[in-house]
Amino acid sequence: MASVSSLPPEALCRRCTLDHVDFTTTDDLEDALEFIGQERPIAAIELAVGIERQGYNIFALGPSGTGKHTVVRHFVEQRAATDPTPDDWCYVNDFDTPSAPRALRLPQGLGRQLKTDMERLVEELRSGLSSAFESEEYTTRRRVLEEEFQGRQQESLSELQERAKERGVAMLTTPTGLAFAPLKEGEVVSPEEFQKLPEDEQKRIKGEVESLQEELRKVLLQMPRWKREFNSRLRELNHDVSALVVNDLMDDLLDKYKELPGVVDYLTAVQRSVADHLDDFLESDGQKAGEAAATTGLPLPEAFQHSPALRRYQVNVLVDSGDAEGAPVIHESNPSYLNLVGRVEQMSMMGALITDFMLIKPGVLHRANGGYLILDALKVLSSPYAWEGLKRALQFRQVRIESPVQMMSLTSTVSLEPEPIPLDVKVILMGDRRLYYMLAEADPDFNELFKIAADFDDEFVRDDETTRQYARLIAAIVSREELLPLDRSAVCRVVEHGARLAGDSERVTARMRSVVDLLEESDHWARKEGAELMSAEHVQHAIDAQIYRSDRVRSRLQEQMLRETVLIDTDGARVGQINGLSVLSLGTFSFGRPSRITATVHMGEDEVVDIEREVELSGPLHSKGVLILSGFLRSRYAQEQPLSLGASLVFEQSYGGVDGDSASSAELYALLSAIGQVPIAQSFAVTGSVNQRGEVQAIGGVNEKIEGYFDLCAARGLTGEQGVLIPQANVKHLMLRQDVVDAVAAGRFAVYPIASIDEGIEVLTGVPAGELDTEGRYPEGTVNRKVADRLAEMAERSRELGMQAKARHTRGGSASGTGADDDADAALGSACGEPGRSA
């Protein structure tokens, strides 16, 4: 009989009782908890937010649903609340270079203040200057100037005219100028009369006319100079009149902002600009715009409808922290390039696109400046140029607003080049582990810029403290999501399910999203029933419903076994045949399924043929497992003679490929049975990998595998003989379904913890394995003896036949190191309804 006893029911599922927590329903629990565990990433985050140096940005890595966002937000917000509130940032016009708007930094709240002040200034300048220039005093002074200028012109002409008259010459206006003509009795002398005059007289008149012409030229030459003089005196007058208004208003502002040199510079530039552009302030509202619209007949954008020229005195408040307390924490859900670094918008005016500093829009880097910015790494990477833009901003510690085309220097169109703004922001990227390691390897800048990795665990140790916190966290979720409260049994059931999700009775899952989903679904079932509390039944209902929703393929496969389309024996005994167990993963749902593994032996030269591998249906881990078991055979039975054995192993009716080494122990049992001709009880199914020393090692998905075989047996009817052999090391992972536990308790099913191949073969065959005696032989009647005898016999026979050199099979492999835990997730699914599996 077997020397290994089956596990007691209590070892199959570690129940959660929460005896150490005093509560009846979740309402009794303090629900202030947002997360539990994750000490490692928390320490990382605390370090990163505490170091005010370049590059201490965070990459929070871990599977989705592990609460990365919650934890990061919690600690970052905590820190941000005590950080100083960042300054305001404004863009203002640069009056010397309007294409390069100037950035102004102002203490919190002063940005909007300056904006209002400038608006008021423009209003006051308009009214002040208009009334100054419309005043009686100004009009009079201007008229005096004008008359002086005109008078000078006219008087000099009149004087000349008078002088001409005295000399008997008239000044005539021709269609294109002025001319002088000799007069006689008030009439111009006719050519005939002129000819009759004595020659001296003619000469005299000619001389007079010529000298008058010269005088007229002199007078006319003076005129532009007088005009210039008039203009300059008019400018002086305008300046004097405006200075009074402008200086008075500006002095108030300069005094108000005297502590801020940047603003003082700006205001001084404004003052100069106002003096140069007085006309803009004197135009009636929208006059220029109206004229422009009238000429083209096109409507103007709204922003340009009122005094477009005065836009240059506006203030574009890019970042307004007026109402903020502490540093900003911003989570940008769409981290596109433009959303990150900001943009210069354009608007259509009369068919052309125009822009100015007022159309600069901030990016999220501006808004998070002085604080924290949380981004999804995958979104940043998949958004064109966003990663490059983010890196550049962090590297140079400044935000430069450029369009992607500008950034790549693909355009030379005139556009704005706003002054870059110094950047002091801590960026937290969220992503999965693969992305982190990929970036760390592929992008040399990444490690420089994201020095802190906050590595989130997907499970944590299940002990009294964590289960207590788990219960509190459940209470917090219930209160946050406004779910029905859970009674004690329900909380316990959720904790147990958390352990089952972790695949370990000593761990609970940290993927709280699954827990939230379960609670929400349980709440649904409870409400449907009209219950006021969620109980374990509701939770179980939700779990069952989750499984039912996803197990179409599983039930179809089981159906095939029950109808014997797929041949699996669950009773009787066969030589060289065993039930292996594999796990299939479909999306988030995994289930176990039995597979028949057969072994055949023949005389040959130390060769175990893995048929799966021959046809390339096996993954490397499976091939490795097979090579390990031939290593085991050689080391145990071929110390003193060559292994004259040929064997072939196959997963029967497997069409989709197989990977993982968790079937290697089953394959070895089948092989031993085939060599020693010892039948194996078909009521058992086996999982576990084996090393070259014959020790059975842990595998993954133990719960799914046991339940997979149990489901088949239960469907056929439990005989009490059936059971599963699992590696001893996997006992701690058992979190089996209640029906399995119940069947074991009733003695109708069994789970055997196996530490070595010898233990396993005894359970499977009912024959002792046998240990080497002092003479180096196995006792008579044991499995090992049978195997050793058969191999010796084959070696002898082989020698006799002289067949050492040739082998029928020419392919094989060499064994290597010990096996590791298999990969339970390899799914090499095929279209024929035979999904990939791992054994």
Partner 1 sequence: MSETVPDVRVERIVVALDASPHSVAALEAAAELAALMEAEVEGLFVEDSGLLCLCGLPFSQEIDVCTTAVRPLEAADMERQLRLMATTIERTMEQVAGRAAVRWSFRVRRGAVVEELLAAAQDAALMSVGRAGRVRRRGMGSTARSLIERSGRPVLLSGERGGSSAAAGRLQEPLTVLYTGTPAAGRALDMALRLRAARSMPLRVVVWAGGDASPDVEALEEAARGLVAAAAGDEAGPVSLVRVAPSADPAEALRDVRGGTLVAPHEQAALVADDERLTLLVP
Catalytic residue set:
662, 705
Collapse the DSSP code of 774 into the 3-class scheme (helix H, G, I; strand E, B; otherwise coil) and give the result: coil
Applying CB under 8 A, among 40, 206, 272, 799 the residue interacting with partner 1 is 206
Pick the piece of the chain touching partner 1 (CB under 8 A) from 207-215, 243-251, 470-478, 741-749: 207-215
| Residue in 604, 606, 599 with CA at minimum distance from that of residue 814 | 606
| Count of positions on this chain that bind partner 1 (CB under 8 A) | 34
The nearer residue to partner 1, 212 or 349, going by C-beta atoms, is: 212
User: Do strands 684-686 and 577-586 pair parallel, antiparallel, or not at all (unpaired)?
Assistant: parallel
Start-to-end CA span in the chain (Å): 28
**Minimum distance from residue 177 beta carbon to partner 1 (Å):** 4
Contact at 8 Å (CB) between 799 and 786? no
Structure tokens at 506: 């000593």
Q: Which residues of 744-770 are buried (b: 16+ CB within 10 A; e: fewer)?
A: beeebbbbbbbbbbbbbbbbbbebbbb
Secondary structure letter of residue 837 according to DSSP: E
The nearer residue to partner 1, 180 or 669, going by C-beta atoms, is: 180
Secondary structure letter of residue 26 according to DSSP: G
The nearer residue to partner 1, 138 or 194, going by C-beta atoms, is: 194
Structure tokens at 551: 């197990």
* Cβ neighbours around 544 below 10 Å, total: 12
The nearer residue to partner 1, 221 or 832, going by C-beta atoms, is: 221
Q: d(Cα 308, Cα 285) in Å, to the nearest integer?
A: 9
Give the residue carrying structure tokens 């822009």.
355
Dmax over CA atoms of the chain, in Å, equals 172
Pick the piece of the chain touching partner 1 (CB under 8 A) from 122-130, 211-219, 402-410, 677-685: 211-219
| Burial class of residue 374 (count of CB atoms within 10 Å of its CB; 0-12, 13-18, 19+) | buried
Structure tokens at 66: 């592990």
**Minimum distance from residue 149 beta carbon to partner 1 (Å):** 11
The nearer residue to partner 1, 14 or 163, going by C-beta atoms, is: 163
Collapse the DSSP code of 3 into the 3-class scheme (helix H, G, I; strand E, B; otherwise coil) and give the result: coil
Q: d(Cα 498, Cα 501) in Å, to the nearest integer?
A: 5
**Minimum distance from residue 280 beta carbon to partner 1 (Å):** 21
Q: d(Cα 109, Cα 111) in Å, to the nearest integer?
A: 6
CA distances from 790 to 19, 237, 672, 785, 786 (A): 58, 125, 10, 8, 6
**Minimum distance from residue 167 beta carbon to partner 1 (Å):** 14
User: Do strands 187-188 and 177-184 pair parallel, antiparallel, or not at all (unpaired)?
Assistant: antiparallel
Pick the piece of the chain touching partner 1 (CB under 8 A) from 214-222, 317-325, 516-524, 698-706: 214-222
Structure tokens at 333: 């859900």
Applying CB under 8 A, among 162, 210, 532, 739 the residue interacting with partner 1 is 210
The nearer residue to partner 1, 159 or 532, going by C-beta atoms, is: 159
- Alpha-helical regions (H) of 51-84: 68-82
Applying CB under 8 A, among 1, 32, 221, 442 the residue interacting with partner 1 is 221
The nearer residue to partner 1, 30 or 192, going by C-beta atoms, is: 192
Applying CB under 8 A, among 20, 40, 120, 217 the residue interacting with partner 1 is 217
**Minimum distance from residue 277 beta carbon to partner 1 (Å):** 23
Sign of CA dihedral 380, 386, 392, 397: negative
Crossing angle for the helix pair 464-481 and 512-529, to the nearest 10 degrees: 60
Pick the piece of the chain touching partner 1 (CB under 8 A) from 27-35, 216-224, 231-239, 683-691: 216-224
**Minimum distance from residue 164 beta carbon to partner 1 (Å):** 13
The nearer residue to partner 1, 136 or 640, going by C-beta atoms, is: 136
DSSP states of 491-531 as a string?
A: HHHHHHHHHHHHT-TTEEE--HHHHHHHHHHHHHHHHHHT-
The nearer residue to partner 1, 123 or 214, going by C-beta atoms, is: 214
Residues 405-464 that bind partner 1 (CB under 8 A): none
Phi, psi (rounded to 5 degrees) for 484: -65, 145
Residues 144-203 that bind partner 1 (CB under 8 A): 147, 150-151, 153-155, 157-158, 170, 172-179, 181-182, 187-191, 194
**427: Cβ contacts below 8 Å, ≥ 6 apart:** 57, 58, 372, 373, 374, 375, 390, 394, 450
Q: d(Cα 322, Cα 116) in Å, to the nearest integer?
A: 13
Q: d(Cα 56, Cα 182) in Å, to the nearest integer?
A: 98
Applying CB under 8 A, among 71, 110, 160, 216 the residue interacting with partner 1 is 216
The nearer residue to partner 1, 294 or 805, going by C-beta atoms, is: 294
| Beta-bridge mates of residue 361 | 343
The nearer residue to partner 1, 189 or 787, going by C-beta atoms, is: 189
**Minimum distance from residue 232 beta carbon to partner 1 (Å):** 20
**Minimum distance from residue 126 beta carbon to partner 1 (Å):** 23
**Minimum distance from residue 181 beta carbon to partner 1 (Å):** 4
The nearer residue to partner 1, 97 or 231, going by C-beta atoms, is: 231
- Residue 810's Cα: distance from chain center in Å? 53
The nearer residue to partner 1, 191 or 198, going by C-beta atoms, is: 191
Residues 91-150 that bind partner 1 (CB under 8 A): 147, 150
Q: 517: number of CA atoms within 13 Å, CB side?
A: 11
**Minimum distance from residue 292 beta carbon to partner 1 (Å):** 21
| Residue in 705, 609, 629, 624 with CA at minimum distance from that of residue 661 | 624
**Minimum distance from residue 205 beta carbon to partner 1 (Å):** 8
User: Do strands 452-455 and 459-461 pair parallel, antiparallel, or not at all (unpaired)?
Assistant: unpaired
**Minimum distance from residue 191 beta carbon to partner 1 (Å):** 3
Contact at 8 Å (CB) between 822 and 837? no
Pick the piece of the chain touching partner 1 (CB under 8 A) from 80-88, 209-217, 477-485, 795-803: 209-217
**Minimum distance from residue 406 beta carbon to partner 1 (Å):** 49
| Burial class of residue 514 (count of CB atoms within 10 Å of its CB; 0-12, 13-18, 19+) | middle
| Burial class of residue 197 (count of CB atoms within 10 Å of its CB; 0-12, 13-18, 19+) | middle
| Burial class of residue 811 (count of CB atoms within 10 Å of its CB; 0-12, 13-18, 19+) | exposed
Chain residues binding partner 1 by CB under 8 A are 147, 150-151, 153-155, 157-158, 170, 172-179, 181-182, 187-191, 194, 205-206, 209-210, 213, 216-217, 220-221
